[in-house]
Structure 1
């Protein structure tokens, strides 16, 4: 949008176009076709490129605004609005549906990419004959045109129902933040392709400052989007935890790591220097992963909790990724004979080595995740059977199902996804988890004092090695009372080693901060603090995530409930709980499947270990037909403990949301599955058994606190006023 604000006529164009498409939605497709023509012209011709991109950005954002107006005003004659919205939804969820489907998501991403391309064209005095940034934007807006976000709703659909409604899993406030943040990060990452390709060609100019800014913004916004996604997943039975290596999560993790490798290569970079191609390759590969992640989201081959059901645009995104990759190979081939730049004498060779090793660790982590994703797709293509250890609840559930339901269950468990256990094992080995902590700790200790680094590194290596052999907090604290695969239990000592190396990393950051205070006073601290916040926050988040995941614990209770408050039940986590009521109502919330469905709030009282009394409630929403509902407590427990089975049973009209008690030292989920009671009361019965599962996650607050600290530091570097200090430690004079 920065390009639009520089030209007031483009603002008027955007307002008029938005008004026209808002009044006459049938104009949306011709306007998008005009955007395609303008962006293609801008991509191929330098002359008038800035003007064409500015106008196309105005028209693209006009379409976004008009589509948002159609959602807000319940214009169900627009097919996209009919598919994802409902008149009963609150306004914020109606607007959030703008990015609830493939059509709107692609349109919004295209508008973001066009704006970035326009901003770059306005800054550039002489642009290349072919603008990769504009070409990428053209491809995306062409895909959006093909998806037809303004197409008319078929009359038979409108006769069937006024609208289809919103996916129940999306009816949360996190929908307002998670998706748009990820899309903004996608746009900034795609914008790295152009400077990266120029660098791979061997142009003698230094790495553009614009690439550093975009990479920093992409990384911080992507991290924020992932954080909101973690909050979302933690409150949904289809996930139940902050991370589980879903195929889409795995693809985005690759992007995050490649951006990290790219950001650690700016210091002292120049064309022709040793390993000079690594950083632009990391940037262009990060850009390649964006359309690949979008393709994974839209491709039905792998089992995933992230899915645009019925979307078939994944081919377009695969083609875009292939074109970018081929362009990078061609650019690298063209720049292979660039003469090396003579470097002046410097005493910072060891520091450059440290940054290079960190890049290797990030690239290694991305390669591990990408390899597992490719293995899953390859196994699906070859129709290979999944190993039995990937189906922990199948044998138990097979005894409860028959006929078509059993066949569907077996098919769901045979569908491949990413082997998260394998990814966890490989990441927990010395490379990259332990290595990043040791290298980072040594690097910052070296920035503080060469003597401190020389003394501390051998001690840290000894502590980490001893921890890897004998174990530490995770190994000693593990009691087998939670949901954790034995494949991960076997590598708990290596995870402990990762915690120890992370502690060394944090101590190194602290040592450098103190050294900066001693050398330069408050000025040195202000320059060092954002970098320290990023790395120390990352360590805290890692500690919190590993402790919460490895030391989680759960208990389950079956409570007879007939509508009256039950007796107090003592949980071994120190809680006493009882159910006090169940409020049932027909579904009129605007979600999918409102006909014949039920909306239930189970009221619960908790007496915490400290004696505090807490009132809360959990949400149960179900639009499935009675034969598909649960007929016993065992199924409900399996759903709450295994996200694979929860993913199989979940539909767009089903939702189970827990009561979360967030504490400093532990976070507790109270999952209540009242399906049997709801069916009994609906049929005129007196109630039944309610399943209550209590899951605790120690030190999860460290994850949220670490993310906030890390985001604060990285946002300061990414969005500060250019040219006002804040250089990375490797780029500042000593």
Structure 2
């Protein structure tokens, strides 16, 4: 089907479903039938995929219009949206629920499968069958189903989860989903390559992998910015099960990209390239399953979603198909004439390092699932705030607290402890690899020097260990690893300097190489800068906690800071978030912060709750624990409750001023509390490096992903 016809199908489908949402099931059934036909039969394969893509994009447009026009007679709109929401948040609800998320993913996947479909002549087309599975899941979810009359009688709509009412909802989720689609598209060429049917890696598959990695990096970055602003996290990374799963996908994509340049079937370790691509696709399906399963404690979850068995089944089928294709291609002849250079083996070592990191992260998720399923007790050192909370808990609440803190999540301490070694290896090998392209002698000498420096740091400590003063929130398990972290940062710095030197040299002396060398340099340098920023800010963070009265005089804090809360405004106007209109409120606190370098800063903090203020107040100790420990924040979380800090960013540090005004708002409602606020000041030095590094890495990756395809001799992506 020509592109214009596909566009016409999308427009007609959107108009039909907006006028008659009840036709949604039939239209999605037609889309599923078309993509299944494409997966099972060769005739009209391209036309069937184009038809299915048009129908799915039309369904998405219709769902977006239904959200924007507050058609709460459609169940999806009633569950996830609210009439008081601004238009951009109504639109963001398109991926606010499982139904809309998978509809968007299916549309992405079918569109990618439609490209080049006419050239695929095999009877069974994996490129179409995988999207067909997601279309069938969407059909089962029925995103256009009518809202039950009892729900409409109960309220006009349920409203949006307050945690999602941020502009980052427009960026983080769709970027992750687009990256997932590009990653899943690698499964078909990976299976073909494992079977020995593809002597060379398909020219279209490399841009797919690059785009997946770039979009995934950008999506993770926006998620970090979002997490930094929400009490549910308060930091950029916590090894949440979903975060860990996405990290595993990112690493497996990195492993694939470091081996795909010049790939040929039959060369040494040739199966690693398709195997890591297939593993990334399977891990993507697993990540979606983890997001929809409540076995592990997680802050990323589609509440009430029950599609996780389907995602796990897709992952299992991909892995089984990979084993079958590898067995089929086991007799692929080796290229005896091809001799691998030392540089090639360095790339392979990097590839193996990334693959091991990704698989190790996936293994920790699996271990946590097994431990939770078997009822293995969670160690006390993974529950740092439980003893404090237990002494303050009401008797009836203690069993709930025990249950919440006993639920397993990923043991980030153990994961970090083991991942630092392959990180060091990647930095050392990568730095040597790039310098060797300039001078073999310089590369050998520099590697020896850096190895000695890493050994010294491991034995005697380095920058982080010297600067660590214990003024922040950091587990002693991580404090014990600071020498290892220092060594990893040193190895990463070696990689960044070497790659920067090579990219500038290559771009200057061979102008034709600039379009490849410069973005490659940006990517590697940005990744190392982000690593430096994230680890330095986390290790050297500082905090102080205070209980202050509203309008009180300046309160001193460590580091030369001082602050005061100058006012509090409570607004009960419906905002489209969760919670009854007669009890939900937004409390905006006016704050002033006196800083040593920037003078007096003025800003606001937000405390929003769908409950009454009296029901939401749990005492100052609870509020401090909630701000400092994301596990308790998960326990205390409600879909209508958020706490956002005042944030000030600079090159030298990022600063958060958390102000929980629960007691003050409860006092306004006639409760016994006094008009006080809990204030927590957190300072994260050089967090700007994280944001700068993520930006540089994403720009470099997108530059590579969008450039014209080059020859097969590219060393890495």
Per the TM superposition, whether the score is higher than 0.5 is: yes
Asked whether 1:331 is paired with 2:317, we answer: no
Moved more, 676-685 or 639-648: 676-685
State the 1:729 CA deviation: 3.9
Matched, 1:392 2:384: yes
2:88 maps to what in 1?
Answer: 92
Once superposed, what is the RMSD of the aligned Cα atoms? 1.6
Are residues 1:505 and 2:499 paired? no
Q: Secondary structure at 2:270's aligned position in 1?
A: coil
TM-score, L = length of structure 1: 0.95
Deviations 1:645-673 (A, max 9, x none): 01100110100000001010100000000
| 8 Å CA contact retained: 1:481, 1:553 | yes
What residue number does 1:73 align with? 69
The DSSP-based 3-state class of the residue aligned with 1:399 is helix
Deviations 1:337-381 (CA, angstroms, capped at 9, x unpaired): 111123356xx6011011000011101111221111011000011
Q: Deviations over 1:593-630 (max 9, x none)?
A: 13312210000012221352221000000123566533
Q: Determine the structure 2 residue equivalent to 1:670.
A: 657
Q: Is it true that 1:22 corresponds to 2:18 in the alignment? A: yes
Q: Which residue of 452, 468, 475 maps to 1:462?
A: 452
Correspondence 1:452 to 2:438 = no
Change (3 A) 1:685 1:419: closer
Q: 1:251 aligns with which of 238, 245, 249?
A: 245
Change (3 A) 1:288 1:572: same
Cα gap change, 1:9/1:515 in structure 2, threshold over 3 Å: closer, same or farther? closer
Q: Is the aligned partner of 1:582 residue 2:571?
A: no
8 Å Cα contact 1:112-1:187 kept in structure 2: yes
Q: Separation in 2 of the partners of 1:652 and 1:686? A: 25
Counterpart of 1:546 in structure 2 is: 535
**CA–CA distance in 1 between the matches of 2:93 and 2:440?**
55
Is contact 1:531-1:729 (8 Å) kept?
no
Match of 1:40 among 26, 36, 41: 36
Greater shift in the superposed pair: 602-611 or 226-235 = 602-611
Query: Is 1:139 equivalent to 2:133 in the alignment?
Result: yes
Change over 3 Å in CA distance of 1:48–1:611 after alignment to 2 = closer
Selected match of 2:556 from 570, 595, 609: 570
Taking the aligned partners of 1:282 and 1:631, their CA distance within structure 2 comes to: 48
Q: Distance in 2 between matches of 1:20 and 1:68?
A: 13
Q: Is the 8 A contact 2:603 2:646 kept in 1?
A: yes
- Residue in structure 1 matched with residue 267 of structure 2 by the alignment: 273
* Alignment partner, residue 192 of structure 1: 186
For 2:228, the equivalent position in structure 1 comes to 234
Which runs of structure 2 are paired with 1:574-613 in the superposition (5 Å)?
574-595=560-581, 596-610=583-597, 612-613=599-600
8 A contact 1:717–1:726 mirrored in 2: no
Mapped contact 1:587–1:594 kept (Cα < 8 A): no
Does the CA-based 8 Å contact 2:262-2:712 persist in structure 1? no
- Say whether the 8 Å CA contact 2:262–2:715 is kept in structure 1: no
C-alpha distance in 1, partners of 2:274/2:209? 11
Of residues 546, 549, 552, the one that matches 1:560 is 549
**Can you give the 5+ residue segments of structure 1 that lack an aligned partner in the other structure?**
none
Q: Distance in 2 between matches of 1:507 and 1:241?
A: 28
> Residues of 1 paired with 2:259 and 2:665: CA distance?
58
Query: Separation in 1 of the partners of 2:170 and 2:122?
Result: 37
Paired position in structure 2 for 1:659: 646
Partner of 1:289: 283
2:701 corresponds to which residue? 714
After superposition, the C-alpha distances for 1:434-488 in whole angstroms (9 at most, x for unaligned) are 1111011000011111111121111111011111111111101111111111111
Q: Which residue of 1 aligns with 2:604?
A: 617
- The counterpart of 1:217, out of the listed 204, 211, 224, is 211
Mapped pair 1:420 → 2:412: yes
Structure 1 residue 111 and structure 2 residue 103: aligned? no
CA deviations over 1:232-279 (Å, ceiling 9, x no partner): 100000100000000000111110000000000112311111111011
Checking the alignment, whether the CA contact within 8 Å between 1:678 and 1:687 is kept in structure 2 is no
**Residue 392 of structure 2: SS of its match in structure 1?**
coil
Q: How many residues align?
A: 716
For residues 157-202 of structure 1, the C-alpha deviation after alignment (integer angstroms, 9 at most, x for no partner) is: 0000000000000000000000000000000000000000000001
Please tell me whether residue 203 in structure 1 is matched to residue 197 in structure 2: yes
Within the candidate set 517, 536, 541, 1:528 is matched to: 517
List alignment gaps of at least 5 residues for structure 2. none
Residue 689 (1) aligns with residue 679 (2): no
